[in-house]
């Protein structure tokens, strides 16, 4: 049994990509911890809020274009790029207006939100195109390159003694811009002068996919979006430290699984192949989660002391709450990937609805739990993640049972 797990860990494409994500996650976590040391708590809280907004908007601004390139053969030419940019500009304007309405941010910060949304969306779609081609290394570099730029920004903040969140945010948006230019430059050059025509763009499917992915992303960032409103920017600063140490490894594991499981499930010819693939990856990922959870439970206080001294204190209860939330997010990631890869358009629409219902449940749970502080807020958010996982697995289950061709049906 142990040898099987070890062989699975070595051969799992998901974990190899998760390892790449882990390097990027370590860069992001290191950047956030260094910035926690260098910035005042309110500025650090603001930084975490804007980074969360940009990570959300840059991935939802394409309005499902990332899903279309993963599910169909689309020509990644100038026309498609133009569509992505136009949609992202409109989306970015709305996101910027809402950010001002909810958080009353200054003009410079709002400008970074708008610009980061547009260039981040372009970068994300380019990354998704390479993902669809199973060029996972290139896709990963484009998708996570801004994290390394943020790490460089953190070092500059410490060396220069900057006391404002604007400095690292400018670098973060610059990272989005750099990966967008590199990604689309490579796509347009590789396309050639006489490309094959792609499939027709399906707007209904794109919007359905956007709803599913957007709902899950919104749910993922809801902790950072709600904490300043329900508690304070100082509480958000504490959460940023907790997320950098405890949350980031599980998020990277979730991303690695989703990135590689999605196209491989699409290729699986029979329900039995899909079940074997999901079972194998599930066993390997569960072993990885358990090992990480035990390590982080004991190592987190030491890591906090090493990076930020006594500026932030994370209780054992807070660490356990973050581990619990990490498990729920990983489960939800599996469920969402199953529906996104092999579900029908109708399934996407249903999961879309369930995703936003889960957001309402999570927000309600967080509002109730906030009476017990940050720890209670995190447990309250778990209500939404449980609902999202249940909906995803429920919708995906029939695609793991039904025959995909007459030959398999006859064999049953």
- Per-residue model confidence as pLDDT tens digits over 37-66: 989 999 999 999 999 999 999 999 988 888
Query: What pLDDT, on the 0 to 100 scale, is given for residue 34?
Result: 92
Q: Hey, where are the domains in the chain?
A: 1-23+205-412, 39-201
pLDDT by residue (tens digit) across 221-244?
A: 999 999 999 999 999 999 999 999
Of residues 39, 23, 19, 7, the one with CA closest to residue 307:
39
Question: What pLDDT does 58 receive?
Answer: 92
- pLDDT tens column, 249-283: 887 777 666 666 666 776 766 777 777 777 777 78
The string of pLDDT tens digits covering residues 64-110 is 888 778 777 777 778 888 989 999 999 999 999 999 999 999 999 99
Asked if 358 contacts 381 with a C-beta cutoff of 8 angstroms, the reply is: no
- Rounded to whole angstroms, the Cα distance separating 306 from 313 reads 12
Does pLDDT of 407 surpass 80? Answer: no
Between CA 20 and CA 292 the distance in angstroms is 16
Task: Report pLDDT for 192.
Answer: 62
What's 244's DSSP letter? I
- List Cα–Cα distances, 83 to 70, 74, 77, 230, in angstroms: 17, 13, 10, 37
Any idea which residue has 């960032």 for tokens? Answer: 221
Confidence band (pLDDT; 50, 70, 90) for 35? very high
In this prediction, residue 162 has a pLDDT band, given cuts at 50, 70 and 90, of confident
Band (13; pLDDT cuts 50, 70, 90): low
Q: What is the DSSP letter of 201?
A: P
Confidence of residue 411 (pLDDT cuts 50, 70, 90): very low
Q: Which residues contact 209 (CB under 8 A, 6 or more apart)?
A: 64, 66, 67, 68, 71, 340, 348
Task: Write out pLDDT tens, residues 363-404.
Answer: 999 999 999 999 999 999 999 999 988 988 888 787 777 554
DSSP designation for 9: H
d(CA 175, CA 142): 9
- Structure-block tokens of residue 375: 């720890």
Read off the tokens for 143: 């998708």
Token pair, residue 330, equals 């990983």
Rg (C-alpha) for the chain, rounded Å, is: 21
Q: Quick one: pLDDT at residue 359?
A: 93
DSSP helix, strand, coil percent of the chain (3-state; round to 5): 85, 0, 15
The CA-based diameter of the chain, rounded to the nearest angstrom, is 71
What is the DSSP code string of 144-187? HHHHHHHHHHHHHHHHHT---THHHHHHHHHHHHHHHHHHHHHH
Write out pLDDT tens, residues 177-235.
999 999 999 888 887 655 565 666 667 777 777 876 777 788 889 999 999 999 999 99
The DSSP letter of residue 64 is: T
- Tokens, residue 347: 């399934």
Cβ–Cβ < 8 Å for 231, 377? yes
Q: Please give the share of the chain, as a percent, with pLDDT higher than 70.
A: 86
pLDDT of residue 226: 94
Mean predicted confidence (pLDDT) in 292-307: 91
Read off the pLDDT of residues 315-357 as tens digits, 9 standing for 90 and up. Answer: 999 999 999 999 998 888 888 878 777 777 788 778 878 888 9
Nearest of 246, 232, 220, 218 to residue 322 by alpha carbon: 246
Q: What pLDDT is attached to residue 334?
A: 82
What span, in angstroms and rounded, lies between the C-alpha atoms of 268 and 252? 24
Q: Cα–Cα distance between 88 and 210 in angstroms, integer?
A: 13
Predicted pLDDT of residue 143? 83
pLDDT band at 160 (very low <50, low <70, confident <90, very high): confident
* pLDDT at position 22 over 70: yes
pLDDT the model gives residue 316: 93
Whether 405 has a pLDDT exceeding 70, the answer reads no
Mean pLDDT of the chain: 84
Measured between alpha carbons, how far is 88 from 91 in angstroms, rounded to an integer? 5
pLDDT of residue 18: 61
Q: How far apart are CA 69 and CA 141, in angstroms?
A: 18
CA 224, 393, 399 angle in degrees (round to 5)? 135
Pair of tokens at residue 263: 């196209």
The pLDDT of residue 408 is: 42
Confidence of residue 406 (pLDDT cuts 50, 70, 90): very low
322 close to 29: Cβ distance less than 8 angstroms: no
Confidence category of residue 141, pLDDT binned at 50, 70, 90: confident
188, exposed or middle or buried, with CB in 10 Å at 0-12, 13-18, 19+? middle
């Amino acid at each position: 049994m142990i040898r099987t797990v070890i062989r699975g860990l070595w051969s799992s494409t998901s974990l190899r990509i998760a390892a790449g994500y882990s390097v990027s996650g370590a860069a992001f976590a290191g950047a956030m911890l260094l910035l926690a040391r260098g910035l005042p708590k309110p500025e650090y809280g603001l930084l975490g809020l804007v980074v969360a907004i940009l990570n959300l908007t840059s991935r939802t601004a394409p309005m499902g274009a990332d899903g279309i390139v993963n599910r169909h053969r689309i020509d990644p030419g100038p026309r498609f790029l133009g569509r992505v940019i136009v949609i992202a500009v409109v989306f970015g304007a709305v996101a910027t207006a809402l950010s001002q309405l909810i958080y009353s941010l200054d003009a410079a910060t709002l400008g970074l939100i708008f610009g980061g949304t547009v260039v981040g969306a372009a970068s994300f779609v380019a990354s998704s195109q390479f993902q669809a081609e199973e060029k996972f290394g290139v896709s990963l570099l484009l998708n996570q390159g801004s994290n390394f730029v943020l790490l460089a920004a953190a070092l500059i903040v410490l060396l220069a003694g900057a006391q404002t969140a604007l400095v690292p945010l400018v670098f973060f948006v610059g990272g989005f811009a750099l990966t967008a230019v590199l990604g689309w430059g490579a796509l347009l050059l590789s396309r050639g002068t006489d490309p094959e025509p792609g499939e027709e763009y399906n707007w209904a499917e794109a919007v359905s996919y956007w709803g599913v992915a957007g709902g899950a992303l919104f749910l993922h960032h809801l902790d950072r979006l709600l904490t300043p409103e329900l508690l304070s920017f100082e509480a958000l600063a504490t959460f940023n430290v907790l997320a950098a140490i405890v949350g980031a490894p599980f998020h990277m594991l979730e991303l690695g699984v989703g990135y590689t499981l999605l196209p491989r499930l699409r290729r699986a010819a029979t329900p039995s192949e899909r079940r074997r693939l999901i079972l194998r990856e599930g066993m390997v990922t569960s072993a990885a989660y358990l090992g990480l959870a035990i390590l982080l439970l004991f190592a987190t206080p030491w890591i906090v002391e090493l990076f930020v001294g006594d500026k932030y204190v994370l209780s054992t209860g807070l660490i356990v709450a973050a581990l619990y939330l990490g498990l729920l997010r990983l489960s939800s990631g599996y469920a969402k990937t199953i529906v996104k890869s092999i579900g029908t358009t109708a399934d996407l629409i249903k999961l879309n609805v369930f995703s936003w219902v889960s957001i309402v449940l999570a927000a309600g749970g967080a509002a109730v739990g906030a009476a017990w502080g940050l720890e209670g807020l995190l447990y309250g958010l778990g209500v939404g993640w449980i609902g999202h996982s249940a909906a995803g697995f429920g919708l995906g289950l029939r695609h793991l049972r039904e025959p995909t061709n007459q030959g398999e049906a006859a064999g049953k």
